[in-house]
């Protein structure tokens, strides 16, 4: 369970892709409630043209595509071609033909002004700077919304039970400041960023939603080590001789949230939206 401490992967690397494939069903199940909450919050309607940013392996783009049939279309955008290939296959497996993938940077969107009826991102906005929010604003049609979900504070079961334990042994920063998943954990911070980017009618709320791994503690710990890319520099700092102790403590902590055959962490997230005038 310490395979990643010697050579942690970068974004879109083969290690992350192997993990994405290995755990895709259970990862999707863990994120399903947050995905559904964002889709409901975004209020997609049949016929809409939607841009989903930082789509990774396909959510919420795939769920949104199901909601905008028969004439609507979703563009799933990500920096990783390999992850988008996973997304495309998942959409194909669902029989969805109204979704396309686009390898590009959210900070330099390759679309004309006023192109989309809705922009979304699930757990991507934390890694954007103001340019990406301004670009989202630019490509929206007048009166259209952008809807985002970001992580709430680090001090919640999913993160503290694993990365919190690792941090005890690694010391130093949890993540690089520019790569923190908790950029918008402070209430009101995402709203301010949306206002700065030109959005109006900005709304923000914090919710606690189910975040359940349908399997054993060992599985979610393996998946988290590989896929929680912002924490990989911290993971590398753990001395190799301490990994047996780290694994033992992490698994004991994660098992505190076990119910039956699942690990029920819960997730505290920030949901925010803004309208282009």
The number of distinct structural domains making up the chain is 1
Within 10 A of 249 (CB to CB), how many other CB atoms are there?
17
User: In this model, does residue 11 exceed pLDDT 60?
Assistant: no
Domain assignment present for 265: yes
Domain assignment present for 140: yes
Domain with 250 in it = 14-275
> Would you place residue 12 in the very low, low, confident or very high pLDDT band (cuts 50, 70, 90)?
very low
What's the start-to-end Cα distance of the chain, in Å?
A: 50
Domain assignment present for 157: yes
Rounded CA gap, 51 and 31, in Å?
Answer: 20
Domain assignment present for 53: yes
Domain assignment present for 183: yes
Domain assignment present for 3: no
Q: What is the pTM of this model?
A: 0.91
Give the CA angle between residues 212, 98, 112 to the nearest 5°.
105
Q: Are 275 and 208 in contact (CB under 8 A)?
A: no
Tens of pLDDT, residue by residue over 42-77, are 999 999 999 999 999 899 999 999 999 999 999 999
Domain assignment present for 6: no
Range with the lowest mean pLDDT among 5-9, 24-28, 158-162, 231-235?
A: 5-9
Domain assignment present for 92: yes
Q: Are 192 and 270 in contact (CB under 8 A)?
A: no
* CATH number for the domain harbouring residue 143: 3.40.50.150
């Amino acid at each position: 369970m310490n395979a990643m401490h010697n050579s942690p992967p970068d974004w879109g690397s083969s290690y992350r892709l192997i993990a994405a494939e290995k755990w895709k069903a259970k990862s999707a199940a863990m994120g399903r409630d947050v995905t559904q909450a964002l889709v409901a919050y975004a209020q997609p309607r049949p016929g809409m043209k939607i841009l989903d940013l930082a789509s990774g392996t396909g959510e919420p783009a795939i769920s949104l595509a199901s909601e905008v049939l028969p004439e609507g279309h979703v563009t799933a955008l990500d920096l990783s071609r390999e992850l988008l290939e996973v997304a495309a296959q998942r959409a194909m497996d669902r029989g969805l033909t109204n979704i396309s993938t686009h390898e590009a940077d959210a900070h330099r969107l390759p679309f004309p002004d006023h192109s989309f009826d809705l922009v979304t991102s699930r757990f991507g906005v934390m890694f954007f700077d103001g340019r990406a929010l301004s670009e989202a604003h630019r490509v929206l049609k007048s009166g259209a919304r952008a809807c985002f979900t970001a992580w709430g504070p680090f001090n919640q079961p999913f993160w503290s039970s694993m990365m919190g334990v690792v941090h005890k042994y690694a010391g130093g920063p949890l993540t690089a400041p520019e790569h923190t998943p908790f950029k918008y954990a402070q209430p009101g911070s995402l709203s301010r960023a949306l206002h700065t980017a030109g959005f109006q009618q900005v709304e923000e709320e914090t919710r606690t939603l189910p975040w359940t791994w349908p399997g054993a503690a060992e599985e979610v710990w393996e998946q988290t080590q590989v896929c929680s890319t912002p924490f990989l520099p911290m993971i590398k700092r753990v001395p190799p001789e301490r990994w047996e102790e780290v694994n033992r403590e992490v698994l004991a902590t994660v098992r505190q949230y076990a119910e039956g055959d699942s690990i029920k962490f819960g997730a505290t997230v920030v949901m925010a939206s803004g309208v282009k005038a």
